[in-house]
Amino acid sequence: MYLIVVGAGDIGTPLVDLATAGGNEVVVIERDAERAERASRQYDCLVINDDATSKETLQDAGAERADALISTTDQDATNVMVCLLAQELSVPNIVSVVHNPEHMNVFEQIGVNTMQNPQSLIAEYLYRAVSRPSVVDFMHIGEEAEVFEITVGPDAPIAGRTLREADEADLIGGQTLIVAIERDGEGTPITPRGNTRIEADDLLTVYSGQGVTPEVTDVFGSSGDGE
Amino acid sequence: MYLIVVGAGDIGTPLVDLATAGGNEVVVIERDAERAERASRQYDCLVINDDATSKETLQDAGAERADALISTTDQDATNVMVCLLAQELSVPNIVSVVHNPEHMNVFEQIGVNTMQNPQSLIAEYLYRAVSRPSVVDFMHIGEEAEVFEITVGPDAPIAGRTLREADEADLIGGQTLIVAIERDGEGTPITPRGNTRIEADDLLTVYSGQGVTPEVTDVFGSSGDGE
Amino acid sequence: MYLIVVGAGDIGTPLVDLATAGGNEVVVIERDAERAERASRQYDCLVINDDATSKETLQDAGAERADALISTTDQDATNVMVCLLAQELSVPNIVSVVHNPEHMNVFEQIGVNTMQNPQSLIAEYLYRAVSRPSVVDFMHIGEEAEVFEITVGPDAPIAGRTLREADEADLIGGQTLIVAIERDGEGTPITPRGNTRIEADDLLTVYSGQGVTPEVTDVFGSSGDGE
Amino acid sequence: MYLIVVGAGDIGTPLVDLATAGGNEVVVIERDAERAERASRQYDCLVINDDATSKETLQDAGAERADALISTTDQDATNVMVCLLAQELSVPNIVSVVHNPEHMNVFEQIGVNTMQNPQSLIAEYLYRAVSRPSVVDFMHIGEEAEVFEITVGPDAPIAGRTLREADEADLIGGQTLIVAIERDGEGTPITPRGNTRIEADDLLTVYSGQGVTPEVTDVFGSSGDGE
Amino acid sequence: MYLIVVGAGDIGTPLVDLATAGGNEVVVIERDAERAERASRQYDCLVINDDATSKETLQDAGAERADALISTTDQDATNVMVCLLAQELSVPNIVSVVHNPEHMNVFEQIGVNTMQNPQSLIAEYLYRAVSRPSVVDFMHIGEEAEVFEITVGPDAPIAGRTLREADEADLIGGQTLIVAIERDGEGTPITPRGNTRIEADDLLTVYSGQGVTPEVTDVFGSSGDGE
Amino acid sequence: MYLIVVGAGDIGTPLVDLATAGGNEVVVIERDAERAERASRQYDCLVINDDATSKETLQDAGAERADALISTTDQDATNVMVCLLAQELSVPNIVSVVHNPEHMNVFEQIGVNTMQNPQSLIAEYLYRAVSRPSVVDFMHIGEEAEVFEITVGPDAPIAGRTLREADEADLIGGQTLIVAIERDGEGTPITPRGNTRIEADDLLTVYSGQGVTPEVTDVFGSSGDGE
Amino acid sequence: MYLIVVGAGDIGTPLVDLATAGGNEVVVIERDAERAERASRQYDCLVINDDATSKETLQDAGAERADALISTTDQDATNVMVCLLAQELSVPNIVSVVHNPEHMNVFEQIGVNTMQNPQSLIAEYLYRAVSRPSVVDFMHIGEEAEVFEITVGPDAPIAGRTLREADEADLIGGQTLIVAIERDGEGTPITPRGNTRIEADDLLTVYSGQGVTPEVTDVFGSSGDGE
Amino acid sequence: MYLIVVGAGDIGTPLVDLATAGGNEVVVIERDAERAERASRQYDCLVINDDATSKETLQDAGAERADALISTTDQDATNVMVCLLAQELSVPNIVSVVHNPEHMNVFEQIGVNTMQNPQSLIAEYLYRAVSRPSVVDFMHIGEEAEVFEITVGPDAPIAGRTLREADEADLIGGQTLIVAIERDGEGTPITPRGNTRIEADDLLTVYSGQGVTPEVTDVFGSSGDGE
C-alpha cells in the first residue's frame, strides 16, 4: 500500500512505525522541521518537511498514486483542509483524527472516515481502570453489548468450576459467553469447552449482551470493584 | 467514588465528562488557568488551578480521602511525580497515562497502573482503518488472538450461509468463533446459533486465535481489503 | 438581513462597517480579545470573543436564524471549518475569503461562495497604476473584455472631438463603447451621445471587447503610458 | 519597465507574479528572510533581503534607474518612509498601498499615488456577495453610478425580451445601459443591439447612473435578493 | 506654549520633565501602556495611551491648537508619519528626532526640523572623553571652529600667566579666544581681561578657529592627552 | 590609542565609526550576534561576540594593554559591572554611558567617568528647538552662563549695526560677548572686531553670563521666539 | 533587625522564610509581579514589586534605616548595582550572592560581603555524596583541614573500640579529633571521652587536619568508599 | 569512578569541574544545546546533548557501567524520572538535587540519596552573614549542636586568655569545644591545648552542643552581633 501520513507527532509517529513495519511505502508530511528530521532518521520512509494544506505538497508526496492518506495533526481545521485537498486529488481512502467531537459531523459530511475521538477512548480506559480494575480490556459491540477481558479473582463465584457447572449454577446468563481463557501468562488462549474448569487468576475474554455491569462482573471479578 | 483527575487537557476532559456522568465526586487539578476555567464551567466538579506536583495541592484536592487518582498530563515526568506524591498520601488506586513506551517500566516499578501508550492504540486503529477497512473495531487477546468486528461484504464467501453450512464448508477454522451478530443497525446483537444465517452487511463480532489475518478476514470481508 | 461576520481583522472590520451602516443586524465572532473589544466599541453590533470553529460559538451567534455568514479570517483552513459548520447549521448564504488560490476548488467543492483571491485583485490594481497610470479603475468582463475608467490626456487623439467624429476617424473600434463621461469632478456622469464632445481631463468609462490594450488606450491616454 | 516592489507579502507576491509575467525587470525588497527566499525561488526577479527604509537598500535595488516603485508593506509608516526615500532618489512613478484611510491625505500631500484602502474594497465585495448575490462584479463611477455584472434570473422581468421590447416596457430607464452580454460561459461577450434577446442565465454588464439599487436590479436579478 | 510630545521613552521622558518644569501645557502620546502610566504619574501633564500615527489621536491631543509637536519615538518611519499628520493638522512648529542619518534629508524635504542624530553626538562626547580627557565640553562652530571647556593642567604652559603674558609668549594664536574662566567650582565664570592670571585647575571656555587640535590644547591641557 | 568599546548599539556604532576613523586600534565587545556581525562588516576593528561582564572576554579583548574602555550598553547595571572588571584589569581610562540619572553617583563612587545622561542632553536640544527656534546650538558654562549659536533675524535690533554701535546702544551687556560670526554659509567664522557689522542671517556664536534668556536673545533673534 | 531582601526567587524565598521566622522586620523587593505576590501571601513581610536598581525603590523599602540588605537575584550585574546603591544609602551591612566566581573580586573591591559561589558548594556536596557516601556533611577549615560527619560502617576498624583503644591502636592520628557522636537518631550528640565506645552506625563529627582523605575515612567508613 | 552528571547548569557545571579535576571519567547529559556545547569546550568529559528522561540517552551515556549518577536539573519531576530510569539500569549510586522540600520524601521513598534543598542552605548562610557576621561558616550536628567558625573580636572576653583560663573563668561551657585555631591567615590550623592563648582575629573552629546562640558567640564575637 502507498500511504501518506500527515503529521509526525504523538499519533503520527507510532502510525509511521506500524505502517513501515507492515512493509508499506510511506510518505510523511510534517511542517515542523525538528519532527520531520526525527521521523526521517527513525523510519524507512520519505519525509516532506512542508505544509500539507498546500496542494503542491500533497502532489509532491505522490497523492495522485497514493492508496490512502491519514491526517493526524492536532488541528481539526488543518485535518479538514488536508482531507478536502486529498479528495480533490482523488486519494481513494482518506482517514482523519478528529479532536473535537463537535466536528465529527463535518468530517462525515465531506465523506471522510474518522478515528472516533481518540482521547475519549483513552479516557474511557482510564475510567474503567479505576472503576472496574479487574476488567483489563474491553470493546463495545452495538449499544450495550461488550466483549471484555477480566481477571478471575481468588474468591470469585466462578473460580474452581467448569463452564457446565457455572451454567447449571446460573452464574452465566444466556447473554454471556466465555470466548477464550488465557492462563499462566501463556500467549495462546484456550478455547473453552463445557468441561473446562475456570481457575483464579485466569484472564477470561467474555462477551456480555448487557455490557460490563456489576451483575456480570461479580461472577468473575474480585469483590472490591465498585463504581 | 471520590476521584482526582490531574490535567484537564485532551484526555483529562473526556475523562472528567465520563466520571461526572457516572455520578462520582470528581476533583480536577489543572495548572493552566484557561483550561481550569473551562473545565469548571463545563462539568459538575471542583477544579483546582494549581500545580499537582505540590503535595499541598493534592491535599487541597482531598487526596487523603480519595478512592483513586488518574494522572493525565502530557509529561511523563510530571505524571511520575504526581503518582509518587499520591502514593505518599496513600491514595488507594493510582493510574497514569504514559506517553513514552520506554517509561512503562518506571511506572510499574513504582507500582502505578498505566494506560498503555494511548497514541500507539490510536495509531493502530488508524492503520487498520486503511489497511483493513472492513474491520470496524478490534481487541487483542494475549499475543496473537483478537476479537474484532467486521462487516460482511456482499460477495463474502460466508454471506448467505448458516453457521453450520459455513462450518461444513470449512470457512471457519477451529480457532475462529462468531460471537455476535449486529443486523440492520439494531443496537442489540443476535447470539448466533448453528442455523443462524449470515447476511451481507451483517456486522459480526468474531474471535480469532490467529488474529486478524487475511485468511480469517477473507471469509467475511469484501475482497478489496489489502495490505 | 441577519449577518454573522467571522473575523474582525483587516477585512472583517470594514465589512462590519458596511454591514452595520446598511442597517443589518450584525454579529461578529473574533478570537482575539483586543480586536473583539475594538469592534465592540466601534460598531453597533454584538461581538462574541470566541473561536468560530466551535459549533457552540456559531450557535451563540445565532447561526440558526442567520441569513448569511461571511468568513474573513486569514487562515483558509479556519475559513473552511467555519463554512462547513455553518452549512451543518443550515446558514442559507455562506461566503468566504480565500487566500491561497490553490484552495479555491476546495471551497467550491463544498459549495461555498468565495471572494476570489483579494490580494491578487489589489496586486493587479497596483500593477496597472504603474503600467497604465491613466487607467483609474477597471473591471474584467469574461476572459478579455474590460470596462475601465481612463483620464483623457491633453494630447489624446480623441480630445476635442465628438463621439461621431471619433467614430468617423476610426479612433473607436466596433468593440469599444464609451459608456459614461465624468467632467469637472462632478459626481454624476454624462451619458454620451453622438454629438457629445470629449475634452481633455474627462474621466471616461469605456467598455473594450479586447481589454485594456495599448491600441485601445492610446486614443484616450497620455502618450507616456508604457508597459 | 524596471520596477521595484517593496514587500513580498500577501499583496507583494501576486504583484511580483503579474509584473514578472508582464516581462518587466523586477527587483523585490523584503525584510523577512523567509519571504525573501520564497520570492527568490518562485519568480524570475532579483530579491534583496533588507530593510527598504534605508537609502542604501533602495540604491542597491537600482532606484536611480527604476521606472516605478510600489510599496506594499503592511505598515503605512514604512510605506511613507519608503516613498519619501524613493522621491529623493527621483523614482518617476511611486505607488503605495495605504491601510488606514486616515493616512490617505498624507500620501497625497507628499505626492504619492495610492491604492485606495484595499481591505475596504474586499469588504464591499463580500458584502455585496451576501446582500445582492446576483451581482457578480461591480465598479463605482463617480459618486452614484456603477457598472456591474448581473446574472439574469429565470423569472426576471427582462428574461425573454429583446432590448427594444424591454425599453418599450419601461424596464430599462434612461440612466441604464446594457453594455455587454456573456452567454453560455463563452469568454467573448456579445455587444447588444436593439433586437438582441436577453435570456435567463445571461451575465449582463450594466451601467446604471443610480448605482446598484433594488429598482435597477429587480429587472434582472432573481427576486430573492434582499438587503 | 501648548506642546505635544510623542513618545515617553528615553528621550521623551526628560523632555517632558523640561517642558513641564518650564511651565508649558504638555500633552504626551505614548503607545506603550506601562510607559504612559509612568509618565502620567510622574509629570503634571495629560498622557494619551494611544498610537500617534492616527489622526484621531493627534486631534485628541489637541493638535489643532498646539504650538509645537516633538516626535521622539525610536522609529524614524513613525516619526515621519507623525510629522506629516501634524502638518496636515497645521501644527506650526514640528521637530523630530532622527536616528538614521540617511533619513535626515527626508525630514528636511517634508519641512520638519530635526535633532541631528543624537547618538552620534553622544558618541563624539564619549570619544573626546577618552581621547582628550581634559576637554570637558565642546560645541562645533561651522566646519572647523569649536568652543570648548578645558581644565588647565598643573604643568600647562599657560598656568600661572596672565592672558597678556600668554599672548606675548605666543601661546595663544590669533584664532583662539579665552571666553570665560570658571574657578574654584563657583557657578559664575569670570570674564577674562588682559591681566587675568590663568591658574592650574581653572576651567576655561575657549574659542578656537581651528577646533580642538593638539596644538591648541597642549597649551592648556595636561601633557597626558593623546589621540 | 588602543580602545575597547563595549556595545555596538545606537551609541556604540557611531563611536566605533569615530574611533576607527581617528586611526585608533579598536576592539568591540557585543553580545548580540547580529549586531556584532554588522559592526565587524562595517568597521576596521576586531569584534568579539560575547558577554562583556566576563573577565575572560575583557582579557580576550586585550584589556591588559588597552588605553581606554568605553561602556555603551543600555543597561546601567551591565555598564557598572563592565567598569568594575575593567578597573580590576587596570584599564587606565574608563568611561561609561549612564541612563538613569539616579545612578550617576554610583559610577562616581567607583571612580568611573561618565557621559552625563545623554538622553537629557537630547531632550534639552529638542526643547530649545521649539521654545527658541533661533538658537541653533548651545553649551552650558557653569551654572548659568552659556555659549550659543543664534541666527540674526531680519528685524533684530542688532542687525545692520557694528559691534561698537551695538555696544553704544546698550544692546549688548557686560556679560555678553560675540565670539564668532558665520556668514553666507562659509565654513570659517569671522572673528568679530569693533567695526564688524552684524547682518541679518548671520549665525553668531555668543557667550552670555546669564544664559539664554529672552533679554539676551531678543537683541538677535526674530521676535517670534516665545516660551 | 530591619532587613531588606532583594529577589524572591529560589534563594530569596527560603531566606525570607528564615528571616521572618527569626522575628526580624523584613522588606522584600521583587521585580516579577507573580513572585512578589506569592511572597506577600506566604510571609509576614512587606513586599515591593519594583526594580531594586532604582534608588527610589530602595528608599521606599526603608534603606535609610535598614540594618542589612541581602541581594539574591540571579544576575551578578544587578546584585552589584543594588549593593552600590545600598552603600550610597549607607546600609550598614550588605551581602550578596555571586554566581560567576570571576566576579568575586569585584564585590570585594567595592566592599560587599558575598556568599561564596553557592552552586559550587552544592556541587561539592553532591560530589562527596557519590565519592564518599559515608561522609554525611562537612566544612572546610582553612586550606586542608575539615570537620565532617561520617557514619561508622559495620566493618569499620574503629567500630566496637573506645576512643582510648582506637588511639592506642594508632587508628586516630594526632591531627584527628572526634568531636561529637550522634547515636540512635537522637538529636543531642554525646561528647566523647576516652572510654566512650564507638559503635557501628554511630554518626561521628570528626575534625581532621588533613581533610577528608582515604587514610582518615578508612577508619570510620565502610570499605566500599572509593574515589 | 565512572560518573554521569545530568544537567550542566548552575550546579552541574561546578560539579563537572570537581569531578573531572578528581580524575574521574565523567559523562554529562544536557538538553540545552548551548550549555552542552559550553561544557564540552570547558571540561575533559563526554557531553551528550539530549533528553536524560529517555532510557536510550542514559544507555548512550554508559549507565550500565556507571558507578554513580547525579541529577542536577532544576525540575524535581525530571530528576525523579532520571533517577527511576537510572535505577532500572542498575546504576549503583544515584544522587539528586531536590528543589521543593515537599518532594524530599518522594526521593527517599524511591531510594535515592538527595542533596537537601540547596537553596535553603544558601539562604541560611546569607542570613547568618547578616545576623551573626562574626560566624564565618557553620555545620549542623543533629538537631541543635553546631560546629562553626568564628572570628575573635578585639574586645571579646576570650581574647588574650589561654583555654585553661577561659575554662576557669567559665567562659566556655561543658558543651562547647574549641576544635581548631587559624591564625594570621595560615592555611594549617593549630590544634589547641590548655595553654594555647586565644588572640583577637583568631579564626576559631568551635563545637557547641547548643548551636550558635548569643550565649555561646558573645564570648568570641564582636559585641555588634545582633539578631
- Counting CB pairs under 8 A, whether chains B and D reach 3 or more, is no
* Residue G223 clears pLDDT 90, i.e. is over it: no
List the single residue in D with minimal CA-CA distance to C190: D209
User: How far, in Å, CA of E72 to CA of E76, rounded?
Assistant: 9
In chain E, % of residues over pLDDT 70: 96
**Residues in a beta bridge with H179:** none
- pTM (whole model) above 0.90: no
User: Cα angle vertex B65, ends B59, B71, to 5°?
Assistant: 65
The β-bridge relationship of strands F93-97 and F113-115 is parallel
* Residue A167 clears pLDDT 50, i.e. is over it: yes
* Residue F44 clears pLDDT 50, i.e. is over it: yes
Mean pLDDT of G56-76: 93
- Range with lowest mean pLDDT among B54-58, C108-112, D62-66: C108-112
pLDDT in tens, H28-66: 999 998 899 989 999 999 999 999 999 989 999 999 999
In chain G, % of residues over pLDDT 70: 96
Enter the C-alpha cell of residue C134.
Answer: 491613466
**Residues in a beta bridge with E226:** none
Which residue, among G2, E119, E223, G106, has the nearest Cα to F99 in the 3D structure? Answer: E119
pLDDT at C34: 85
User: Cα angle vertex A174, ends A172, A179, to 5°?
Assistant: 65
Query: Which residues of H are less than 8 Å from B87 in CB distance?
Result: 109
User: How far, in Å, CA of F79 to CA of F107, rounded?
Assistant: 9
The alpha-helical segments, DSSP class H, found in H22-114 are 33-42, 55-60, 76-88, 104-109
pLDDT at D224: 47
H157 contact partners, CB below 8 Å, separation of at least 6? H169, H171, H218, H219
How crowded is residue H107: how many other Cβ atoms within 10 Å of its Cβ? Answer: 23
> pLDDT class for G116, splitting at 50, 70, 90?
low
- Range with lowest mean pLDDT among E148-162, F97-111, G197-211, H200-214: F97-111
* Residue A223 clears pLDDT 60, i.e. is over it: no
* Residue D63 clears pLDDT 90, i.e. is over it: yes
pLDDT at F11: 85
Which segments of F125-218 are extended strands (E)? Answer: 135-141, 145-151, 176-182, 203-208
* Residue B34 clears pLDDT 80, i.e. is over it: yes
> pLDDT class for F117, splitting at 50, 70, 90?
low
Residue whose grid cell is 449486529? B182
G224 contact partners, CB below 8 Å, separation of at least 6? G133
Please judge whether G84 and F88 are an interchain contact, meaning their C-beta atoms are less than 8 angstroms apart: no
Which has more confidence, H57 or C101?
Answer: H57
pLDDT at C174: 79
Which one-letter DSSP state was computed for residue H95?
Answer: E
The β-bridge relationship of strands F203-208 and F145-151 is antiparallel
Contact F101, F121 (CB under 8 A): no
Please judge whether G87 and F81 are an interchain contact, meaning their C-beta atoms are less than 8 angstroms apart: no
> pLDDT class for B172, splitting at 50, 70, 90?
confident
Domains parsed from chain C with CATH numbers: 2-115 (3.40.50.720), 132-219 (3.30.70.1450)
C16 contact partners, CB below 8 Å, separation of at least 6? C5, C8, C26, C28, C39, C43, C45
The β-bridge relationship of strands D25-29 and D2-6 is parallel
* Residue C227 clears pLDDT 50, i.e. is over it: no
Best of C127, C207, C213 to disrupt the D interface (most D CBs within 10 Å) is: C127
Q: How many CB pairs under 8 A join F and G?
A: 58
Residue whose grid cell is 557657578? E187
Question: Is D116 strand, coil or helix?
Answer: coil
Enter the C-alpha cell of residue B175.
Answer: 480457532
> pLDDT class for E115, splitting at 50, 70, 90?
low
Give D170 to chain C, closest Cα distance, Å: 18
List the single residue in D with minimal CA-CA distance to E58: D102
**Residues in a beta bridge with D149:** D137, D205
Enter the C-alpha cell of residue B146.
Answer: 483478537
pLDDT at E78: 95
Contact C106, A81 (CB under 8 A): yes
> pLDDT class for E227, splitting at 50, 70, 90?
very low
How crowded is residue B21: how many other Cβ atoms within 10 Å of its Cβ? Answer: 12
Mean pLDDT of A10-14: 86
**Residues in a beta bridge with C9:** none
> pLDDT class for F31, splitting at 50, 70, 90?
very high
Contact F86, F59 (CB under 8 A): no
Which segments of chain A are extended strands (E)? Answer: 2-6, 25-29, 46-48, 68-71, 93-97, 113-115, 135-141, 145-151, 176-182, 203-208
* Residue G226 clears pLDDT 60, i.e. is over it: no
Element (H, E) at E115: strand E113-115
* Radius of gyration over every alpha carbon of chain E, rounded to an integer in angstroms: 23
pLDDT at G111: 84
Mean pLDDT of A102-117: 81
Best of D6, D20, D117, D147 to disrupt the C interface (most C CBs within 10 Å) is: D147
> pLDDT class for E226, splitting at 50, 70, 90?
very low
Mean pLDDT of G123-148: 82
Which segments of G22-175 are extended strands (E)? Answer: 25-29, 46-48, 68-71, 93-97, 113-115, 135-141, 145-151
Please judge whether C102 and A54 are an interchain contact, meaning their C-beta atoms are less than 8 angstroms apart: yes
pLDDT at B118: 67
pLDDT at H118: 67
pLDDT in tens, B93-127: 999 988 887 888 889 888 888 766 667 777 888 88
pLDDT at H194: 87
* Residue H10 clears pLDDT 50, i.e. is over it: yes
Alpha-carbon F129 to chain mean position:
16
* Residue B129 clears pLDDT 90, i.e. is over it: no
User: How far, in Å, CA of G39 to CA of D126, rounded?
Assistant: 54
> pLDDT class for B224, splitting at 50, 70, 90?
very low
* Residue D1 clears pLDDT 50, i.e. is over it: yes
Best of B38, B99, B126, B143 to disrupt the A interface (most A CBs within 10 Å) is: B126
Q: Share the mean pLDDT of chain C.
A: 87
- Range with lowest mean pLDDT among C14-23, G10-19, G127-136: G127-136
Please judge whether F191 and E182 are an interchain contact, meaning their C-beta atoms are less than 8 angstroms apart: no
Q: Share the mean pLDDT of chain D.
A: 87
Contact G141, H191 (CB under 8 A): no
* Radius of gyration over every alpha carbon of chain G, rounded to an integer in angstroms: 23
pLDDT at F100: 80
Q: Which residues of D84-96 are buried (b: 16+ CB within 10 A; e: fewer)?
A: bbbbbbebebbbb
Please, which chains are in contact with A (at least 3 CB pairs closer than 8 A)?
Answer: B, C
Mean pLDDT of H172-191: 86
Burial class, A223, CB count within 10 angstroms (exposed 0-12 / middle 13-18 / buried 19+): exposed
Mean pLDDT of C88-102: 88
- Range with lowest mean pLDDT among E138-152, E210-224, G152-166: E210-224
pLDDT at D227: 40
* Residue D98 clears pLDDT 90, i.e. is over it: no
pLDDT at B79: 95
Which has more confidence, A109 or A8?
Answer: A8
Which segments of A66-144 are extended strands (E)? Answer: 68-71, 93-97, 113-115, 135-141
Please judge whether A95 and B126 are an interchain contact, meaning their C-beta atoms are less than 8 angstroms apart: yes
Mean pLDDT of F148-168: 90
Question: Is A50 strand, coil or helix?
Answer: coil
In chain H, % of residues over pLDDT 90: 45
Which residue, among H219, H110, C73, G169, has the nearest Cα to B87 in the 3D structure? Answer: H110
Q: What share of chain D is helix, strand, coil (3-state, %, to 5)?
A: 35, 25, 40
- Counting CB pairs under 8 A, whether chains C and A reach 3 or more, is yes
pLDDT in tens, H133-144: 778 788 888 888
Query: Which residues of C are less than 8 Å from D95 in CB distance?
Result: 126, 129-130
> pLDDT class for B58, splitting at 50, 70, 90?
very high
Q: Share the mean pLDDT of chain H.
A: 87
CA atoms within 13 A on the CB side of D58: 28
